Amino acid sequence: MDPKDITKEYTNGEITVVWQSGKCIHSGNCVRANPNVFQPKDKPWIKIDADSSDKIMEAVNKCPSGALSFYKNE
C-alpha cells in the first residue's frame, strides 16, 4: 500500500466523514467552507465535533476531487 494513499474516517455518531488522501488535490474548498472543522495543519486535521453534521456535509459536498465523502450512521 502506498503510504501517500491512506483512508481515514472521522465520526460524530451521526455522520462519518471519509478522507482518501490519494484523491486529494488540495483545492482548499473544505477549509474555506468550514475552517472550524477542516484544519490541515493539525492532527487529526478534521475536527468532527466542531460544527453541526449539516454544516460538515455542506462543506464535504464542495470537495471537487471526491477525496472527502460522508455517510450517515444508522
1: confidence class by pLDDT, cuts 50, 70, 90 = low
- C-alpha cell of residue 74: 444508522
- C-alpha cell of residue 21: 488522501
Above 80 in pLDDT, residue 4?
no
Domains (ranges, CATH) in the chain? 7-72 (3.30.70.20)
Residue 7's Cβ-side half-sphere holds a number of Cα atoms within 13 Å equal to 7
> Hey, what's the torsion of the CAs at 6, 11, 17, 19, to 10 degrees?
-10
- 13-68 pLDDT, tens digit per residue, is 999 999 999 999 999 999 999 999 999 999 999 999 999 999 999 999 999 999 99
Above 80 in pLDDT, residue 2?
no
